[in-house]
A and B are shown apart, each in its own frame.
Chain A
């Protein structure tokens, strides 16, 4: 029998029958188990659960003789569930038969909760570290909590965007798919403060147990819970920086209500999550601030550099690097002095630049502004501001702005203004500027010269009173008014002529061009360019007079020509009559003299008389040729279509008949039809063939060819002989009347045959030309543009 002293031990000791029933326990164990007396405890089984499990455990003890550290839960009569740890040993008889069991037991409930809490804290710490968002933090927390306490459902409620109610957050945990019905119902619900489990937690800010779901009046989801065997619930708030960010709720199925200590464990978790969310929010705010900071830095056109008080580079933007063309390695080292050295190399005044940097280091709170010129011609504006956190100066911000273009533009504007003035001053034209009311704002020296008004006298007066004659002023003012009203002005941008008046009142012709100048939508101003065109007008008049005189002279000359032509015709007529008459007499009387007085005349006299007759005949021929030539120009063309080859053949036959003894081969291309005046063409061919015949007469035999060939789309006729030819350098004289390339002694002729040919061809619109060499014959070419066809 165990001694009374065993009751004083801090651990419980017991003995069991072989079937597990309690036979003895010390007082310590009885107190732990909540059993009043040994008698009440005798026969009780220590371990909960079914008989099967218990037998199986006893079996293990029998097998192993000793099991240490066996843990199990015990529900005390007062309802508390405690956790116990024991060591159990099998007791055997000398025959090795199980006679019972003995064991030592201690309560480890507090230890278990502490472990649980620690494990949860550790798990959460790990899980939350990896969590990217608040939503994930909720999910992780719900899962871990549910797992640790073997809960059925865990979900989170978060304030709606208007802050008026709680909505079911996406994060949740379900121990069993069958529970999703409860989840669905929850998702469809929202809770105002004080309503339902989440609403109650929201309004009180305290963790809340719901131990009797069945009978709770303020639990709208009770029917569903009942259906699913949910017996109890627990909800707790999560605060971040004193503001509720979520309510987590947990539900238990079927078992006895959970230990209240669970609330404590979860409360720690809630604090942990709250801290996490708070940190997360702070991080987000910081990230936002940083990105804003960076975006601001990079979106400015200025180059920015932030340096701390120790001269370390804190930050800079890309523009700063570009502006100073700085190597990235330099900035990466973060030493402000190195960047200053780099910059000094580039600025036009390194000492001045450095001086300013030093001054500002001495005075961390000073602000500065100046302009820095670079060696490459660029110009930067430099602004420096202290950087402060609260009232404490922590560094300095340098800002550089490239104002090269602006500076240049200003310079150019100045230059352009200067040039403009010079142009105005030296312009030959009068240049007058006006505002929109027509008042003079500019009056250059040429204007002084042209109008006789001095610049100082006219400024501010209206142009119309200065230069427009009285009678035209109304029109001028009307035009100006219309332009200002409608923007329409027929005279603007064009040169027009108008009368102007000088200071002395004299009027003179003026050329004027007015250009409107609009700037920035204001009323237009005008620039007028004016020129005194008196002299030009005078010259124009002179030219007109000269033209008129010239025309009169042309008319006179034409009349004279007409008269000459008539005279020429009269001459031709009289030549045909009067010149022939004496020749006829000469010829007739000499002939009669010879015929009737031959017997009385010595032979020499007869010879002389023959010479007279010969001369007469030559003169007759000459006169006839001349008449023909003049008639060529006077006669009207009577064109028809005929065979020129046929005419050529007739002409050639005539020649052969006249001198049948000559050996001349004449070939004529047949069927050369032309549209021309046949009488004139016959005369032309007579002359051409006649020439060919004549100029081949010194050769024992000769060839004459007449034909035509296409050349450049026109038919070119040719008459070719192999006679004496001519000196090609004299070819241009060939077609002139009375121009002879051979002496009359060698070849008789009037010298106007080819001139006649030329006139005939040209009257038909054709061309005639010749090629030849001395002793190599002549080819005369001609064209007849009238329709020509060969058959």
Chain B
């Protein structure tokens, strides 16, 4: 079984842990790689040996990061023909209309605000994983057969 690749671009170790925990809870089969800022992300995608690595099925991209921020990463991704089709979901604490607008303008596939409440957070991550990693098709990857876990209806948010 092929496992889709998820690239998490996130400078906060807490959020990184929470995303990974939430994915695990949701049983989304994904191979997660993490870039801890924009530089690392770009290095991973375009740096030495990048061509040898398969492109991720989804990039969860934080916006506010040191050195190179999410917008710059997105811009670069969309500028390169090779990475132009990779789904990029901006996953940010911001819900500033300006940020949302700019993300889409740069070619983001989706914009999801990170909820503070962990239950909501977990739901968001589960839905994202189920959609982008199991339902969504990306070029260069075989069509994923939906798994039972992948199509599981998410539990209703508590509270």
A binding-site residues for B, Cβ under 8 Å:
573, 576-578, 580-585, 587-592, 616-617, 620, 635
**Per a CB cutoff under 8 Å, which of A578, A584, A617 touches B18?**
A584
Residue of A583, A591, A617 with most partner-chain B CB within 10 A: A591
- Whether A620 and B116, one on each chain, are in contact in the complex, defined by CB atoms closer than 8 angstroms, is yes
Q: B31 in the interface, Cβ–Cβ < 8 Å?
A: no
User: Please, could you name 21 A-B residue pairs with CB atoms under 8 Å apart, sorted by A?
Assistant: A576-B93, A576-B95, A577-B64, A577-B92, A580-B114, A581-B12, A581-B14, A582-B14, A584-B93, A584-B114, A584-B118, A584-B121, A585-B14, A585-B15, A587-B116, A587-B118, A588-B17, A588-B118, A591-B118, A592-B21, A617-B116
In the bound complex, residues from chain A placing their C-beta under 8 Å from that of B114 are 580, 584
In the bound complex, residues from chain B placing their C-beta under 8 Å from that of A591 are 118-119
* Complex: A584 Cα to B119 Cα, angstroms: 10
* Complex: A635 Cα to B119 Cα, angstroms: 31
**Per a CB cutoff under 8 Å, which of B14, B21, B63, B94 touches A584?**
B14
In the bound complex, residues from chain A placing their C-beta under 8 Å from that of B95 are 576
Q: Please, what's the 1-or-0 string for B93-123, where 1 marks a CB less than 8 Å from any CB in chain A?
A: 1111100000000000000001111110100
B binding-site residues for A, Cβ under 8 Å:
12, 14-15, 17-18, 21, 63-64, 92-97, 114-119, 121
**Chain A's interface: helix, strand, loop or mixed, by majority?**
helix
* Complex: A293 Cα to B97 Cα, angstroms: 116
In the bound complex, residues from chain B placing their C-beta under 8 Å from that of A576 are 93-96
* Complex: A578 Cα to B18 Cα, angstroms: 16
**Per a CB cutoff under 8 Å, which of A578, A581, A587, A592 touches B117?**
A587
- Whether B94 and A573, one on each chain, are in contact in the complex, defined by CB atoms closer than 8 angstroms, is yes
- Whether A577 and B116, one on each chain, are in contact in the complex, defined by CB atoms closer than 8 angstroms, is no
- Whether B92 and A584, one on each chain, are in contact in the complex, defined by CB atoms closer than 8 angstroms, is no
Q: Shortest CB–CB separation between residue B95 and chain A, in angstroms?
A: 7
In the bound complex, residues from chain A placing their C-beta under 8 Å from that of B121 are 584, 587-588
* Complex: A585 Cα to B97 Cα, angstroms: 24
In the bound complex, residues from chain A placing their C-beta under 8 Å from that of B118 are 584, 587-588, 590-592
Residue of A578, A581, A583, A588 with most partner-chain B CB within 10 A: A588
Q: Considering the complex, give the chain A residue whose CB is closest to the CB of B12.
A: A581
Q: Shortest CB–CB separation between residue B70 and chain A, in angstroms?
A: 11
- Whether A583 and B116, one on each chain, are in contact in the complex, defined by CB atoms closer than 8 angstroms, is yes
Residue of A578, A585, A616 with most partner-chain B CB within 10 A: A585
Q: Shortest CB–CB separation between residue B135 and chain A, in angstroms?
A: 26
Q: Shortest CB–CB separation between residue B133 and chain A, in angstroms?
A: 21
* Complex: A625 Cα to B150 Cα, angstroms: 36
- Whether B93 and A580, one on each chain, are in contact in the complex, defined by CB atoms closer than 8 angstroms, is yes
* Complex: A582 Cα to B18 Cα, angstroms: 12
* Complex: A573 Cα to B63 Cα, angstroms: 12
* Complex: A263 Cα to B115 Cα, angstroms: 164
Given A573-B94, A573-B96, A592-B21: A581 and B119 within 8 A (CB)?
Answer: no
Q: Shortest CB–CB separation between residue B93 and chain A, in angstroms?
A: 4
Given A584-B18, A584-B114, A592-B21: A577 and B94 within 8 A (CB)?
Answer: yes
* Complex: A589 Cα to B12 Cα, angstroms: 14
* Complex: A486 Cα to B93 Cα, angstroms: 87
Q: Shortest CB–CB separation between residue A110 and chain B, in angstroms?
A: 160
Q: Shortest CB–CB separation between residue A560 and chain B, in angstroms?
A: 24
* Complex: A178 Cα to B94 Cα, angstroms: 146
In the bound complex, residues from chain A placing their C-beta under 8 Å from that of B115 are 584
In the bound complex, residues from chain B placing their C-beta under 8 Å from that of A585 are 12, 14-15, 18
Q: Shortest CB–CB separation between residue B67 and chain A, in angstroms?
A: 16
- Whether B14 and A588, one on each chain, are in contact in the complex, defined by CB atoms closer than 8 angstroms, is yes
**Per a CB cutoff under 8 Å, which of A578, A584, A589, A592 touches B116?**
A584
In the bound complex, residues from chain A placing their C-beta under 8 Å from that of B12 are 581, 585
In the bound complex, residues from chain A placing their C-beta under 8 Å from that of B15 are 581, 584-585
Q: Shortest CB–CB separation between residue A80 and chain B, in angstroms?
A: 163
- Whether B93 and A577, one on each chain, are in contact in the complex, defined by CB atoms closer than 8 angstroms, is yes
* Complex: A581 Cα to B21 Cα, angstroms: 16
* Complex: A582 Cα to B14 Cα, angstroms: 8
In the bound complex, residues from chain A placing their C-beta under 8 Å from that of B96 are 573, 576
Q: Shortest CB–CB separation between residue A551 and chain B, in angstroms?
A: 34
In the bound complex, residues from chain A placing their C-beta under 8 Å from that of B18 are 584-585, 588-589
In the bound complex, residues from chain B placing their C-beta under 8 Å from that of A578 are 64, 93
- Whether B93 and A617, one on each chain, are in contact in the complex, defined by CB atoms closer than 8 angstroms, is no
Q: Shortest CB–CB separation between residue A40 and chain B, in angstroms?
A: 178
Q: A577-B94, A581-B12, A590-B118 are in contact. List 9 more A-B contacts (CB 8 A).
A: A577-B64, A581-B93, A584-B14, A584-B93, A584-B116, A585-B15, A588-B14, A588-B121, A635-B97
In the bound complex, residues from chain A placing their C-beta under 8 Å from that of B21 are 588, 592
* Complex: A587 Cα to B21 Cα, angstroms: 13
Q: Shortest CB–CB separation between residue A573 and chain B, in angstroms?
A: 7
In the bound complex, residues from chain B placing their C-beta under 8 Å from that of A583 are 116
Q: Considering the complex, give the chain B residue whose CB is closest to the CB of A592.
A: B21
Q: Shortest CB–CB separation between residue A593 and chain B, in angstroms?
A: 10
